[in-house]
Structure formats: C-alpha cells, structure tokens
Structure 1
C-alpha cells in the first residue's frame, strides 16, 4: 500500500468511527515558514511551508485524533504526510489506542536507544524538531495501570521503514560501492517484508513512576530501521545487481530517571541480540555479506539549573560484540566502540518572550560535531520568530563532519493556533 492510499484509508477509517463519540471536536496546529541559507554554496536550498494540523474529538467512549501534515516547497509537488490517526478508549484501569500513532520510549534527548517503536523520518537529516523525526506506525497499544506501575503492550500490524532524504536533497549521500570502475553496479530498492501476522512487530514494557525514582524495562521483536544489502547478483561480465532488504532482531533494555539533590540523572541502555549487519570483504565473492552481532547502546544524562538557565549533558556509547574491521553500516565502517556527547543550555529573557538555546552533538572518533545555536522570540497570539544556525565541523568521515558543506543559517516564522 503506497503512502497516499495509507493516509486516505487511515483518515476515512477514523472518520467512520466519529459517530461513536458523542462530544465536541477541537482543532489546533501550527503553520511554519522556514528558509535556510547555505554558507558553502551561498544559496537558499530550503524554503518550506509546513501546515501541521491536529483534530481531537472528545466523547463518552474516548478520543479521536487526526493529525495530517502538509509540506509545500517551490518547484516540488505538495507532500502530504500522516502524522497520526488513532482512537483512544479509556477503560477503568486500561487505555487502548488503535491506529496510526507515534510511540516515544526512553530518556534520551536527540538519540534513539530504546526508542525503537516508531521509525525515524530523516528527510531533513536530524534537523527537524524532535517530535517530527518520528513516524507513525499502524498499531494497537494497550496501557494497563496497577498503582504506580504501568504495563504496556504494542502490536504493530506491518513494518514501516525509516524515511531517508529524497533524491536531489542536500542531505542525500551516495554510498561508495566496493567495485572496480569497470563494473556497473545497480542498487535495487529495498524489498519490504510481506504484510502478515508472522511479520508483525511486538513490544512490551513495565514502568514504575515515583517522585524520587522512575524506571522502565522493555523489549521487543522488530525489523531493523535501515535496509541492508542482502545479496550481490552477477548479471553480466561487467554488471552487478545489489539487492536490499530488512532484517529483524530482538532487543531488551530499560531506562531510569532520578533526582540527586538539584540534579536529575537519566540513564538508558539497550541490548540488540544477533543484530544483522553487513560486512565488506573485497577478497570474497560476493564482497558484501550479512553477519549477526550483539550490540549494546548505553546513555547517561544529567540535567540541572544554573545561573538561571537550564543545562543538560549526555554521554552515549555503542559497543559491537565480536567486532572486526569489515563490519559496515550504509557503506560506512562500524567501530567496536562509538562515543558521542551532547550538550544543551537554554535560557529565557524579556519576561520569557526571548529564548536562547544551544544544542550540540560531539562524536569523538573521528572528531566531528554539530552545533545548533538559536534565538526565538514570542510575538504573542501564538506567533514565534526563530533564527539560528546548523554548523557541521570536523572529520569528513564522521556522522556530522560528512555534512560540513551543508552548514547553514535559518529563519522561521511559526503560528500556533
């Protein structure tokens, strides 16, 4: 089912249930005009108008939510995206949500550790608002409450992959294929898993919420978000077809949040069991193959107030078990240990109408970073003007350094209603 059919079916299906809810509807949303100036090319590669609308219909049985999003760009077709479309049913000690929905797990800011239920939308790399990076999935989510404990079960009917940058986008990076110049390699579109009960995804979690310590343990059986090379087929003396597909694996993890005096400590970890990965060995035929490795991701974060401002820092480490130098992800080398730091400071001025913020990613090996300073001013009546920069620096082999030619300044005008 293509995107337009999925959006239309979800919206019509949700509207059919509207008569079951005797109540009132509420519209809210945001309209944003965003433009970016790229330093290296002295051009305006992005000018996008976004209409983000949410309709909530409250009734005796629960709530209906419809959340379509439209993107308008010069010289491009109007892009319609389904943010969410679901129904909530509120029972005595259980909440049930059915439909296209986003699910957020974990304690990380700007990183995905146990937050693996909703795939990522990377059409703008990771520069979109954190709430816009996640995509909705067709799911049934059940939350059962017992005192301070919550048991959550999520069943996703069929797999939804991540959204990479589109062809021609400034964020699209072409992988360097490991073939001699005389060989013409054609990369095929990824093969999607069949929509069947066998291929559905399941997630479970147990949470405890308390003033001094809140924790969650969770896990799931899911499809990997990004496609892998599944085979290299020789179609001629100088031609190869590279097939791609998605592989699945289980994971277990957890997170916690506690206060130490005036400091908030956040921690999160996930263990991916037998996670499929590609290997690149030019002496082998074919040179690209699949292996499975355990992988651990951990994060520790601190939040505190100082000098009237809000401060936050995080340390993220990824460890790949039984690592060797031939492991790759999207044609980039996977390291045995990967280390990333984040830092955020935010303060308000002028009766909290002016907000100054700096968010930074720093990858240690190779050394590269993304600096995101911004200023926003609340003009009143839901209108906010914001300006800032996205500065990519460091080694071109790094996650952020590879985009150093895309450093930019931006200006946006948002109206919330």
Structure 2
C-alpha cells in the first residue's frame, strides 16, 4: 500500500485547524519562477547526452498573518531521453510523490507544496518539502532524510536531485535550544537509474555480479508502503554557544537505497531488493576563526548492508554498522576567493573477507570559487577524490550574470580512475554543458 488518501485528509485537517482563511488571503500573492535550458555533450564521442528545457514556477500567498503557503512545480522536457529512457515505472515513489509522464520526453511534478505557520513560539511546516541536515560539499553523512534521484549520478546540486517528501516538521524553542521534530509518512526512496540509462550503475561496489553463463532473474523490489507503520521519524537539538553552532541529530528511518541481494539456486541467480530500517545518531559543529570556518558532521548508522563477492555467502551482502564523518575548513581571506577542503571517512564495524568495499573508505574534496567583473562572473571547481580506489570526479563551471534575471552557464564534468570504482564507472560519461537560466 502506498501513501493512502487518509494522509490527504489528515494534512487538510491540520491546514484548516492552523490557518483560518481570511477575506484577503490572496492579497500577498507572489508568482515567480525559473526557465532553464541545458545541453550536454559527451566528450568521448561527441554524442548529445541531454537536451533539457525546465520550467520551475513558484507561488506564495498568505492565509493569515501567521500562515503562508508555498507551491513549487517543475515541468521538464528532455529531447534526447537518455537519462531516464522511456517512461520510468516510479516504483521508488509513493503515489502522492510520483511524477506525471507525458510520453517519454516530458514530465511534470509538484516539487514542493507546504504550509508554514506558527503556533505560539513553535514554527510548523506541513506538506511536501526538503529537510536538509548538514552542508557537506558533494558528500553526505547526515543529509539522509530526503531520498535522491541518481539520474545524473551526483552531478546536479543536491537541491535539484533531492526528492521532496510529504512531512510534518516542527521547530520548538526549548530555553536557549531549538528542538526539531519530524514525521515523514511518505514511502519514497532513492531513484536508481535502470539498465540502459546514461548513468546506470555498473560498479561492483553497487551491482552484484554473476559467473559467466549463469542466468540472472530480477524480482520486483519489496518496498514499504504503509504510510503509518513504515513512516520515518527524526529529531534534532541545536544550539549556539561560545561561538559554536552545534546540533545533535537522531533518525529512525528506512535507508533510501535498497539492499540488493543475490540468491543462488539450481535455476540460476535471482536478484532481490528490499529496504531495511536504520538508526542514525550524529551531530554537527561549526565555528568561525577569522577568515577560516571549521565545520564537521559525525554519524553512526546501524543495520547497513554492503556487498560481498564471496560466492558462498547466502545472499551476497553483509550487515554492519557504519561510523562516518566529514571534517571541513573554509577560507575566505583572499579578495573574491572562496576555498574549501574536506576529508570524509566511513568505517564499518566489521569487515569480513570478500567485502567489495574497503572496511575504511576515505575521500577528500577541494572546492575553489572566484568571482570576477564585480561578481557578474563566477568560476568554480570541485574535486572529489577517493583515496582508496584512486578514482574521482572534477566538476568545473562558469556562470555569467548577463542581465539581472538572465544567467549564462557553461561547465564540464570529468570522471577518472578504474572502471570498478564508484566514480570511474562513468569515465566514458565525461561531458561539457552549456545553458541559460531566466528568472521571472
């Protein structure tokens, strides 16, 4: 069962209870949006990787002096249709979070639809939304509440690739602290590219292998679907003390990426997928020391599953707890420059023989950003490097503000390293891109 109609009734009742409609409810109506074109060419063969036109309209209006409604849609066409060929089945999404596909080249989506209100000193956001924990560049430790679309791997900004969820999100002052309570009844999970897609996964870190000549059968994913018993809950306690921004985070949730199990039998190998719950406990910290900002995220996740190439293993995965952290430093002491570096590490509680990934994985990032022409031109480069496998990703971009509402963009995405690596699997997907963004 997917997100059931009673959720609509519940959300509707909460809206009516917290936001009495006034006669001038549309007095502060605001309509805006962004129209964007993007063209990407593969460097290996010069082929057209994508040709998209995206319209993102936004509507804001007040229901009362304390209640505001936000609606954000997205209409996108892709003339090439290689990122998600045909009409995706949408199995990873709950019914109320699904997209509408109009043929194989056009899709429409209600990206976000939420109500902001205040009840006493408590801030409450109800509806379809993004809930962001942590701000690491290109890597995630605590930012796990919203699933992600991997149609373009991790190349888009997280804001664009996150899948917003129907949720209740409350922020409650507790003395000098702020308590955030979150309930997510939306059973939507990561969207993994299907075989044949431009960025379909091939690395053994993700995809199980079979001996040559052995038939492989793919079973339908066993996906949670009850909006109440399968819902996620989370809480965050944050504070500012002694110059430090601190938070303590906890989530009890289904991991958004399915566990891929390899079941061997006399008839061959069957690939089964299901989702497993996990407890996540962690925190964040940051402080500014002159021109340097020091920041970090720490997370301990239970009940995670990782691939093993031990063919005697019953299902090809092993369960372990994952201790992860990212430490970062940002420097803004040079005029017009911003520099940032991060170290990310994931350590498993046990690393049995045959584990495909290393028991301890380490990645490093470096970000450089510079503005020119009185900030009309912005140049940026982000490098993500795996210190275990030697592969990585370099993203470079130029953004020129031609008019106050028109931006011209150009960029390049370069993968390198061995093909078995997380980044090296896409070494033949290097691309350059150009585009234009018009706001209204």
**Distance in 1 (alpha carbons) for counterparts of 2:418 and 2:405:** 40
Tell me whether 1:66 sits opposite 2:71 in the alignment: yes
Post-superposition shift, 1:124? 1.1
CA contact (8 A) 1:184 1:240 kept: yes
What is the match of residue 229 of structure 1?
Answer: 260
Unmatched segments (≥5 aa) in structure 1: 328-332
Tell me whether 1:130 sits opposite 2:158 in the alignment: yes
What is the match of residue 202 of structure 1?
Answer: 233
**Distance in 2 (alpha carbons) for counterparts of 1:47 and 1:370:** 22
**Distance in 2 (alpha carbons) for counterparts of 1:247 and 1:163:** 16
Count, aligned residues: 403
Residues 178/305 of structure 1: CA separation in 2 closer, same or farther (3 Å cut): closer
The equivalent position to 1:395 in structure 2, one of 377, 400, 418, is 418
Report the more deviating stretch, 312-321 or 240-249.
240-249
**Distance in 2 (alpha carbons) for counterparts of 1:367 and 1:81:** 38
Tell me whether 1:250 sits opposite 2:279 in the alignment: yes
Unmatched segments (≥5 aa) in structure 2: 81-103
Post-superposition shift, 1:279? 3.6
What is the match of residue 330 of structure 1?
Answer: none
What is the match of residue 379 of structure 2?
Answer: 356
What is the match of residue 214 of structure 2?
Answer: 183
Tell me whether 1:413 sits opposite 2:418 in the alignment: no
**Distance in 2 (alpha carbons) for counterparts of 1:227 and 1:293:** 15
Root-mean-square deviation (Å): 2.5
4+ long deviations beyond 3 Å: 16-19, 174-178, 237-240, 276-280
The equivalent position to 2:288 in structure 1, one of 245, 259, 283, is 259
Residues 177/250 of structure 1: CA separation in 2 closer, same or farther (3 Å cut): closer
The equivalent position to 1:28 in structure 2, one of 32, 37, 50, is 32
What is the match of residue 53 of structure 2?
Answer: 49
Matches within 5 A, 1:268-417: 268-284=297-313, 286=314, 288-308=315-335, 309-327=337-355, 333-417=356-440
Post-superposition shift, 1:66? 1.1
**Distance in 2 (alpha carbons) for counterparts of 1:183 and 1:344:** 45
**Distance in 2 (alpha carbons) for counterparts of 1:311 and 1:80:** 37
Post-superposition shift, 1:77? 2.9
TM-score for the superposition, normalised by structure 1:
0.90
What SS is found at the alignment partner of 1:37?
strand
What is the match of residue 89 of structure 2?
Answer: none
Post-superposition shift, 1:305? 1.4
Tell me whether 1:92 sits opposite 2:92 in the alignment: no
**Distance in 2 (alpha carbons) for counterparts of 1:167 and 1:28:** 37
What SS is found at the alignment partner of 2:229?
helix
What SS is found at the alignment partner of 2:32?
strand
The equivalent position to 2:185 in structure 1, one of 157, 162, 165, is 157
Deviation by residue 1:72-122 (Cα, 9 ceiling, x = unmatched): 011633122332111111122101111111100013122111111111121
Deviation by residue 1:242-297 (Cα, 9 ceiling, x = unmatched): 2211111101000011012321000110001232344442134x4x2443211111
What is the match of residue 110 of structure 1?
Answer: 138
**Distance in 1 (alpha carbons) for counterparts of 2:148 and 2:339:** 26
What SS is found at the alignment partner of 2:332?
strand
What is the match of residue 193 of structure 1?
Answer: 224
Structure 1 or 2: larger strand share?
Answer: 1
Deviation by residue 1:331-362 (Cα, 9 ceiling, x = unmatched): xx221111111111111111211111111111
